[in-house]
Structure 1
Amino acid sequence: MTATVGTSPDVKVHKSHMRTLVGTGIGNAVEWYDWAIYATFSPFIASALFSQADPTSAVLSTLAIFAVGFVARPFGGFVFGWIGDRIGRKTSMTVAVALGAVGSLLIGIAPTFAAVGAFASVMLLIARLIQGLAHGGELPSSQTYLSEMAPKEHRGFWATLIYTSGTAGILAGTLLGAILTATLSKDDMSAWGWRIPFLIGGALGVYALFMRAKMKETEAFEAEAPNEKRLPIWPQIVKYRKQALQVIGLTVGLTVVYYIWGVVAPSYAATSLKMDRGEALWAGVVANVVFIAALPFWGKLSDRIGRKPVIIASAAGAALLHFPMTWLLKDSPWQLAVSMSVMLFFIAGSAAIVPAVYAELFPTHIRTIGVGVPYSICVAAFGGTAPYLQTWLGSIGQAQLFNVYAVILLLVGIAFAFSIPETKGKDLTV
């Protein structure tokens, strides 16, 4: 069985190419799994690795380290972007997933605060910095790789693999959280149960490492002239600063509303709205299934009508429905499932195709780092601080300010969508 792939109609997909795409998806899923389980199990991490003299401070410290992990992402975007554009997409993706596995294993074996004091918190910080560095390079590398492998007529649809595999990772972490919460006592969860997801994440990362070692490099990178691979990086980043700013503008709203509704909503419902934690996690599972189902719809639509209309419709729908869905969410699992599902359906529009859009904005020799650096800066500045900001504003009775902030960022994304060229069907070898 064969199908066209890449930028040339003469390139065929065989089983080896499918194995390559599976390797891309698994590595991406592991990255998202790692970040999701940290958000899901943050209350247990706070109780185990921080002083319990002030439980609220411990939770906020845990969320602050979640944000610190994002700070390392721009450095990862630069380092692994350089590797991807100079040595190869495959090498960048393989090293990134290996480093991510190390970070997950460190969290899984971290000693408790009761045993070693503040060193427990320091070890968590180091692990998150390692993960941030790795994950800052993973997403732009895998996005670039997948976009270059895809047939240009169906690149929007192929790009949905990024968020499909990533959401599968989140879903796996959410399901594991629901199962552990239902089967283990609260004492067991606090003592050792919370470590299980991180140890599993480390093992999955090792498996993804071996899968990626078998991958092939993209046609676009191999066809690039050697002198283009040796061009100085910083002048090229400056040259394509407009495209870098467009990546940031398209990402700000998406990253914040996605972390609100796709990642931290079940944990927020359990901690702030006092919803049963197990029921909140199951509601999150339902919503993420809806999200996965919506991704190919939007991806195929973008291949037919263009990228810009889909991005605008997605951000506008999310902006219009953010407040109604926030008002719907009170203390019932069905309310959480419905509000998350509605929001994730519209969020899926942008999430499905931005991997293709980002790649289509840059030429081959600067594509990975051109996407990686601005994307990582944006995710660090806005996505990484979103859970902390949401929790802090809620604790001082100003939760609505956070909602206003999210909607404003979505409107920024709409404005930037009008500024980009229509890139549907673009040849990525040019």
Structure 2
Amino acid sequence: MTPPERRSSPVTQETTTRPVDDARSRRHDTRNLFALSAGHALEWFDWAMFGLLSVYIGNAFFPGDSPASATLNSLAVFAVGFIFRPIGGVVFGLVADRVGRKIVMIGSVGVTAAASLVIGVLPTHETLGVWAGIIVLLMRIVQGISTGIEAPLSQAYGLELVPERPGYVAGFMAFFNNLGNLLAPLTAFGASALLGATAMGEYGWRIPFILGGVLGVLVLWLRRSLPETLPVGVVGKNGEVATRTETIEVWRGVRHYWLSVIAVVFVIGAIMAYNYTWLSGLPSLATGAFGEDPTAVFAVSTTMSIVLTLGALVLSRILDKWALSRWFLVGRILAIPTIFLVLLYNDGGIGPLAGVMLGGSLVLLLNLTIYNAVANSLFPQHIRGTAMGLGYGVGVALFGGTASYLFVWLQSIGAGWMFPIYIATLCAISVVLYVLAKKRNGVFVGS
């Protein structure tokens, strides 16, 4: 079997047999996307909650010499989950390319919900000693492996369900992605406001994790009816019918699109580093280093999440009016100067924190809405699960998972000015690599 040949055209659209685009088929598309996206929202709810509540988790399971050191210990475990994302992405991406999307999507959300429930009910370090921290670490590893395939494959799945409207799919799924991130601080804010700071530190932080585990049952029920998008069989060169794409063919395809894989590492990594700075880095700095009132910090995070959630729904209506590649270049170039807003939050205060987080939210909105669809567009369907799992996992592990820790650590040693330079450089590299990969290999979804 020979490697796939390079195409002569820089832009190639995948063709899929679809029903007539009427109101009925659109409702059918929306139902399928909802079942898929509900699990996506739950994944991000569980994932964001750990970073958002890192101060309490650190005190409960990883006590240190000071609140700041306990927070850093917790953020280190938060980063470990990212390290295992490439493993989940590659292993289960290959399963998705050979066996099918549906079974992988059901398994990933089930595992993540179960791990969240374990963290929510686990006794603290005071009761279990070092074993408490080890169990939390293992649960984060499990969630890292699961999320390593959920994040990239769910977008690929959505684009294959509704291939003619990539902008709509990107916006629709980003709405639920952001909804998960919104429900995380909203739940934390509600618990903190109702219980108070003392009770929140003692047991209130457990409520969001238990809720995430319980909601997993509902999501599993919704995903059971999703259709399979991977073709059941392909005709081999000698006329025989293969049941699924062979493993060796998948890896040859990934090797052929090596530049696209590297581009995805930075396309994903740069915006994830930016995202987690806003999502968990700034809130952790505010509560851990500057001693801000946690209820006020959660309120700011919740407000930002509302902007991102509703904004994604608006973008779903207009993104298809312009090529995804053009949206990407505009959004990513704007992110380069915007990241320097973090330098304005260096002396504490809820006002400056709100100004920085909300000021950067619009640029973050555009980038978060389209980044996954843009990355998926660089690969053909038969290798998309494996290639995206690899590129996405490596990008998030190298740059996204370490961003919160690096941001807080640089601030603690008085070198906070280095962080925005680092993120801006990642964004610039992602633009260059995307343009090169698009020119060499073309795109398969949205031009």
TM-score normalised by the chain length of structure 1: 0.90
Q: Which residue does 1:87 correspond to in 2?
A: 99
1:330 offset after TM fit, Å?
5.2
In the aligned structure 2, how far is the partner of 1:335 from the partner of 1:59? 22
The alignment status of 1:337 with 2:349, answered yes or no, reads no
In the aligned structure 1, how far is the partner of 2:231 from the partner of 2:100? 7
1:332 offset after TM fit, Å?
3.9
Give the length in aligned residue pairs.
421
Equivalent of residue 176 in structure 1, options 160, 182, 187: 187
1:22 offset after TM fit, Å?
1.3
In the aligned structure 2, how far is the partner of 1:23 from the partner of 1:217? 13
CA 1:36–1:427 in structure 2 vs 1: closer, same or farther (change >3 Å)?
closer
Q: Percent identity?
A: 31
In the aligned structure 1, how far is the partner of 2:197 from the partner of 2:303? 24
The alignment status of 1:121 with 2:121, answered yes or no, reads no
**RMSD between aligned alpha carbons?**
2.5
1:202 offset after TM fit, Å?
0.7
Q: Structure 1: which 5+ runs fail to align?
A: 1-5
Equivalent of residue 190 in structure 1, options 191, 198, 201: 201
Secondary structure at the aligned position of 1:184 is classed as: helix
Matched AA of 1:47: N
Q: Which residue does 1:105 correspond to in 2?
A: 117
Q: Which residue does 1:376 correspond to in 2?
A: 393
Q: Which residue does 2:17 correspond to in 1?
A: 8
1:206 offset after TM fit, Å?
2.0
Q: Which residue does 1:363 correspond to in 2?
A: 380
Matched AA of 1:290: V
1:72-83 alignment, distance < 5 Å = 72-83=84-95
CA deviation map 1:70-91 (0-9, x unaligned): 1110111012201211111111
The alignment status of 1:39 with 2:51, answered yes or no, reads yes
The alignment status of 1:417 with 2:429, answered yes or no, reads no
CA deviation map 1:320-350 (0-9, x unaligned): 1222453267544343333223312112222
CA deviation map 1:134-182 (0-9, x unaligned): 1001111201110111242x21222122321111011111011111111
Matched AA of 1:124: V
1:396-411 alignment, distance < 5 Å = 396-411=413-428
CA deviation map 1:7-34 (0-9, x unaligned): 3343562655433211111110111111
Secondary structure at the aligned position of 2:377 is classed as: helix
With 189-198 and 7-16 compared, the bigger mean Cα shift is at: 7-16
Equivalent of residue 271 in structure 2, options 254, 262, 266: 254
Q: Which residue does 1:230 correspond to in 2?
A: 246
Q: Which residue does 1:242 correspond to in 2?
A: 259
1:375 offset after TM fit, Å?
0.6
Matched AA of 2:194: T
1:293 offset after TM fit, Å?
3.3
Q: Which residue does 1:140 correspond to in 2?
A: 152
In the aligned structure 1, how far is the partner of 2:420 from the partner of 2:371? 23
In the aligned structure 2, how far is the partner of 1:288 from the partner of 1:322? 18
CA 1:266–1:338 in structure 2 vs 1: closer, same or farther (change >3 Å)?
same
With 269-278 and 196-205 compared, the bigger mean Cα shift is at: 269-278
CA 1:17–1:96 in structure 2 vs 1: closer, same or farther (change >3 Å)?
same
CA 1:192–1:55 in structure 2 vs 1: closer, same or farther (change >3 Å)?
same
CA 1:148–1:309 in structure 2 vs 1: closer, same or farther (change >3 Å)?
same
Q: Which residue does 1:271 correspond to in 2?
A: 288
1:200 offset after TM fit, Å?
0.6
CA deviation map 1:34-93 (0-9, x unaligned): 111111111111111123555443222111110111111011101220121111111111
In the aligned structure 2, how far is the partner of 1:61 from the partner of 1:324? 26
CA deviation map 1:349-408 (0-9, x unaligned): 222222322222111110111111111111011111111111111111111111211111
Matched AA of 1:91: I
Secondary structure at the aligned position of 1:211 is classed as: helix
With 304-313 and 293-302 compared, the bigger mean Cα shift is at: 293-302
In the aligned structure 2, how far is the partner of 1:322 from the partner of 1:271? 21
1:40-55 alignment, distance < 5 Å = 40-55=52-67
Matched AA of 1:204: L
Q: Which residue does 2:368 correspond to in 1?
A: 351
CA 1:324–1:15 in structure 2 vs 1: closer, same or farther (change >3 Å)?
closer
CA deviation map 1:203-232 (0-9, x unaligned): 1122111211121112x5457555361241
Q: Which residue does 2:71 correspond to in 1?
A: 59
The alignment status of 1:309 with 2:322, answered yes or no, reads no
With 191-200 and 414-423 compared, the bigger mean Cα shift is at: 414-423
In the aligned structure 1, how far is the partner of 2:83 from the partner of 2:444? 34
TM-score normalised by the chain length of structure 2: 0.87
CA 1:428–1:231 in structure 2 vs 1: closer, same or farther (change >3 Å)?
farther
In the aligned structure 1, how far is the partner of 2:33 from the partner of 2:154? 10
Matched AA of 2:201: S
Secondary structure at the aligned position of 1:80 is classed as: helix
In the aligned structure 2, how far is the partner of 1:88 from the partner of 1:293? 32
Contact 1:269/1:331 (8 A) holds in 2: yes
1:418 offset after TM fit, Å?
2.4
Contact 2:344/2:356 (8 A) holds in 1: no
1:301 offset after TM fit, Å?
5.0
In the aligned structure 2, how far is the partner of 1:59 from the partner of 1:18? 41
With 97-106 and 336-345 compared, the bigger mean Cα shift is at: 336-345
With 366-375 and 413-422 compared, the bigger mean Cα shift is at: 413-422
CA 1:378–1:189 in structure 2 vs 1: closer, same or farther (change >3 Å)?
same
Q: Which residue does 1:326 correspond to in 2?
A: 343
Q: Which residue does 1:216 correspond to in 2?
A: 227
Contact 2:121/2:206 (8 A) holds in 1: yes
Q: Which residue does 1:3 correspond to in 2?
A: none
In the aligned structure 2, how far is the partner of 1:175 from the partner of 1:383? 23
